[in-house]
Amino acid sequence: MGVVEDTAASTVGAVARLTGVSVRTLHHYDHIGLVVPSVRTAAGYRGYTDADVERLHLVLVYRSVGLPLDEIRTLLDDPRADVVAHLERQLELLHDRADRIRHTIKAVEELMNARREGIQLTAQEQVEIFGSTVHSDEYAAEAEERWGDTDAWRQSQQRAARMTKQDWIDVKAHGDALLADLAAAKRAGVAPGSPEADRLAARHRASIERFYDCDAEMQRCLVQMYLADERFTRYYDDREPGLARYLHDVVVASIDR
């Protein structure tokens, strides 16, 4: 490892502030040889060069489209790899994701318009909009039968009725971001009970509390249901195998400590 002037390299804290990647994650990337600070400053600190930071940004791009860390390391360490060609492919995937987000926004607009006009969309219309039966009449009836006499159900109905189009878009965006961050944390080996995992548990509870009050024990019941009901398990595990169990463990560890 070379020695350079302090101005030529960035400390781990500076890189964390610059990129928004936590110090813990940077240390993990260093430990597994994914992004390693390649110099030592005159003051004796390990430092990231501009090339190191560029490698980190490549990692973030590949992570954003779901590549596992091992594959990313192999790709970046392969001298024969055409990085530009790979980035072009990732750009295509990101455009696809943007198209899906635009589709979701359109779906929310249609649902809001239907609600505004007093129209109840049929199950088939919901499938056509969302590509899923999760909002079907059958499921809604089951939910009301199971929870219709609870305060949480009444709160959720009242709050949902007051939500604006932008509120629904925000709910979707925050939910997608939480799901992606949970999957990334699981793949990165973030341990339940760690500060980073506790922040994810807090974000999960906050997402529930947009609809109804959720204390620790209710949150525990919810994540237990994610394992007991295969529909919920499949929702999480389709994003990342074992994610429903990981979310359960993250939440329970944050409560029991």
> If you write DSSP's letter for every residue of 55-100 in order, what string do you get?
HHHHHHHHHHTT--HHHHHHHHH-TT--HHHHHHHHHHHHHHHHHH
Half-sphere exposure (Cβ direction) of 45: Cα atoms closer than 13 Å: 14
pTM recorded for the entire structure = 0.48
**Looking at the domain assignment, is residue 76 inside a domain?**
yes
**Looking at the domain assignment, is residue 112 inside a domain?**
no
Indicate whether 161 and 247 sit together in one domain. Answer: yes
How many structural domains does the chain have? 2
Indicate whether 152 and 75 sit together in one domain. Answer: no
pLDDT in tens, 94-153: 777 777 666 666 666 665 555 555 545 555 555 554 555 444 444 444 444 555 456 666
b (16+ CB within 10 A) / e for 108-136? bebbbeebeeeeebeeeebeebbeeeebb
Indicate whether 167 and 246 sit together in one domain. Answer: yes
| Domain at 44, CATH number | 1.10.1660.10
Give the domain range for residue 196: 148-256
The pLDDT, as a whole number, for residue 101 is 67
**Looking at the domain assignment, is residue 164 inside a domain?**
yes
The pLDDT, as a whole number, for residue 35 is 93
**Looking at the domain assignment, is residue 209 inside a domain?**
yes
| Domain boundary, last residue among 81, 113, 140 | 81
| Domain boundary, last residue among 81, 97, 124 | 81
**Looking at the domain assignment, is residue 142 inside a domain?**
no
The pLDDT, as a whole number, for residue 103 is 65
The pLDDT, as a whole number, for residue 197 is 94
* Strand-pair category, 39-41 with 2-4: parallel
The pLDDT, as a whole number, for residue 111 is 57
**Looking at the domain assignment, is residue 134 inside a domain?**
no
DSSP 10: B
Question: Which parts of the chain register pLDDT below 50?
Answer: 1-7, 119, 129, 133-144, 148
The pLDDT, as a whole number, for residue 144 is 47
Indicate whether 77 and 176 sit together in one domain. Answer: no
| Domain boundary, last residue among 81, 115, 132 | 81
| Domain at 213, CATH number | 1.10.490.50
